[in-house]
Copies of this chain bind each other. A is one copy, B any other.
Amino acid sequence: MSLRITALAGGIGGARFIRGLLAHLRDHYPDGAGGTAAEVTVIGNTGDDIWMHGIKVCPDLDTVMYTLGDGIEESQGWGRRDESFTVKAELAEYGAGPEWFGLGDRDLATHLVRTRLLTAGRTLSEVTDELCQRWKPGVRLIPMSDQRVETHVIVDEPEGARTAMHFQEWWVRYRASLPAHGFVMVGIDDAQPAPGVVEAIRGCDVLLLPPSNPVVSIGSILSVPGIREAVGTTSAPVIGVSPIIGGAPVRGMADACLTAIDVETSCVAVAAHYGSRAHGGLLDGWLIDSTDATFVGDIESLGIRCRAVPLFMTDVAATALMASDALALADETT
């Protein structure tokens, strides 16, 4: 039976890691036709999803789809290459904001197709499958849930009042600069894992947690009732890749999210936050960056096997090596 790998993924970090994973697999588990014989399933975060101008935007699913489908704007890591913003400028002429959301013309077509299919009664999983017909990402991409779940952030507004705002507003408009007091996942109690999610977690040979945001990406996925339990009880080794190097997030503003939930921004604290499977947590193994090698002992003392390897995803080749290291660590734990 072919190697089955499942990964949970947020946006940019997850998408790039999986692109590297696929590059590794094409070389080491080739299918003889230029692809890989391994089966990769990606469970995407939908907590960032937002309805905007009456259309459904799924930033993380699209980042995965565009990145793996060679449509991503590489320089920023999200959105479409050769993007234009004509519609956004026209919406602004009507006074229809928000100004802070970079809704591109090419990207908009994706949202229009998605919204139309959702409105016609299709589930988000079915719609995602349909969109992937075009992008051929080389993985099976499943949203964490077909139900609407939206991450909101508890913040103090600049004027001082405590309020909750959609994650996108906090992240994109305020660049996570308003101190967050916590996150609320609206709709999470009524959400179920999308069809195939639990099976992909339980039925894989290796489960990977890429270097995505531990709170609002991986954390959101784990919040869907049933998913954390599936991760905790899968027979596959669970290997995480630290998004924190040298006490700071590699990119993005994960530190602001970690601070909000009282977790230190360090590769050790994030490992502890996920916890060791031996002690009721999630991780069998944890990759940290070579520059953090001094912490290997601390992490192993948590009951998590740890290796220090280069974790900067400077290009696809470097990322493929990271993925290779993650799979090697999985082998070590079994």
Q: Which residues on A are within 8 Å of B, measured CB to CB?
A: 53-55, 84, 86-87, 90-91, 93-96, 105-106, 108-110, 112-113, 115-116, 119, 131, 134
User: Which among B94, B108, B115 is the interface contact of A87 at CB below 8 angstroms?
Assistant: B108
The SS class assigned to the A binding surface is: helix
Set of chain B residues within 8 Å of A87, measured between Cβ atoms: 87, 105-106, 108-109, 112
Closest chain B CB from A103 CB (angstroms): 10
Give how many copies assemble into the complex: 2
A-B contact pairs, 29 of them (CB 8 A): A53-B112, A54-B55, A54-B115, A54-B116, A55-B112, A84-B84, A84-B105, A86-B86, A86-B105, A86-B106, A87-B87, A87-B106, A87-B108, A87-B112, A90-B105, A90-B106, A90-B108, A90-B110, A91-B109, A91-B112, A93-B134, A94-B109, A94-B110, A94-B113, A94-B134, A96-B109, A96-B113, A96-B116, A105-B105
Set of chain B residues within 8 Å of A94, measured between Cβ atoms: 109-110, 113, 131, 134
Set of chain B residues within 8 Å of A93, measured between Cβ atoms: 109, 134
Set of chain B residues within 8 Å of A54, measured between Cβ atoms: 55, 112, 115-116, 119
Set of chain B residues within 8 Å of A134, measured between Cβ atoms: 93-95
The distance in angstroms between the C-alpha atoms of A108 and B112, with both chains bound, is: 11
